[in-house]
Amino acid sequence: MSLAPYKVLLFDCYGDWETGMLENLQPLLSQPSAPNREKLFEVLGPIENRIQAETPKMLYSELLAKVYAETAEKLSLKSDDAQAKAFGNSIPSWPAFPDSAEALKKLSDAGMKLVILSNVDNKSFDGSKQKLEKGFTFDAIYTAEKIGSYKPSLRNFDYAIENIKKDFNLEKEDILIVANSKFHDIQPGHKKDLKSAWIDRERAFMGVSAYKDIIPDYQFGSMMEFADAIVKDKS
């Protein structure tokens, strides 16, 4: 199935969020009774999803502070407000995947509209943006703060579809979701009849491991592999 018809790429697979989280959860992970990586995310993921659904207008940085505190409590680990706040404020330091900036530049050079649909707040995304925009600029950035809800809410996808139509005069059929999380992106995107390309990030757990039955329309092992496929199909 050719990628040539798509004109807009709706992205949320550029940042290594799990690594960023782990690096900033060290006050919890350094404790003797701390769980392994998989167990940690088994606990943290559902807490984050619940708080996002319950408080859709809360800034992501503030929401993460609550996630930190509740995760610590659930795992019977020691925490304090300063640690929780620091975790919430750490988002701009979370790393991009090594291939992200180069692949995004290649896709931009190929004439694709690059649109971010992310669960972060505006200020937090500025940190990611500085790591990613190398020789190109995103055509649009739709954050949870701007929309007033968090994925997998279908409101976020409706917002993206409506604004892509308004900003670029392009239709739903022109949009391809490019993401790692099947829970946050692939599944709700399919509910809105959007096609999807899954970037299979090695070891990614949250939004992936429990959703093996969700089948994307395309699958790639890296962003650069995806970018090369777009360029090939467009040529």
- Report the CATH fold assignment for 18-93: DNA polymerase; domain 1 (1.10.150)
pLDDT of residue 7: 98
If you average pLDDT over residues 110-133, what whole number do you get?
91
- Residue with token string 């790639």: 220
Regarding predicted confidence, which is higher, 229 or 126? 229
52-56, 90-94, 128-132, 205-209: segment of lowest average pLDDT: 205-209
Q: Give me the DSSP letters along 135-203.
A: S---SEEEEHHHHTS-TT-HHHHHHHHHHHHHHH---GGGEEEEES-IIIIIHHHHHTT-EEEEE--TT
2-6, 120-124, 149-153, 159-163: segment of lowest average pLDDT: 120-124
pLDDT tens, position by position, 39-72: 998 999 999 999 999 999 999 999 999 999 999 9
- Enumerate the CATH 1.10.150.750 domain ranges in the chain, comma separated: 18-93
pLDDT > 50? residue 207: no
Angle (CA) 75-123-224 rounded to 5° is: 80
If you average pLDDT over residues 21-35, what whole number do you get?
93
Nearest to 161 by CA among 5, 10, 56, 2: 10
CA 228, CA 90: separation in Å to the nearest integer? 32
What residues form DSSP beta bridges with 113? 8
- Enumerate the CATH 3.40.50.1000 domain ranges in the chain, comma separated: 8-16+95-234
User: 8-16+95-234 sits in which CATH class?
Assistant: alpha beta
- Decide: helix, strand or coil at residue 234: helix
pLDDT tens, position by position, 126-149: 888 888 999 999 999 999 999 999
Between the CA of residue 195 and those of 10, 70, 135, 178, 211, what are the distances in Å? 10, 35, 28, 9, 17
Residues forming the active site: 12
Q: Where are the alpha helices (DSSP H) in the chain?
A: 17-24, 26-29, 37-54, 60-74, 81-88, 100-109, 122-132, 144-147, 154-168, 187-191, 223-234
Rg (CA), the chain: 18
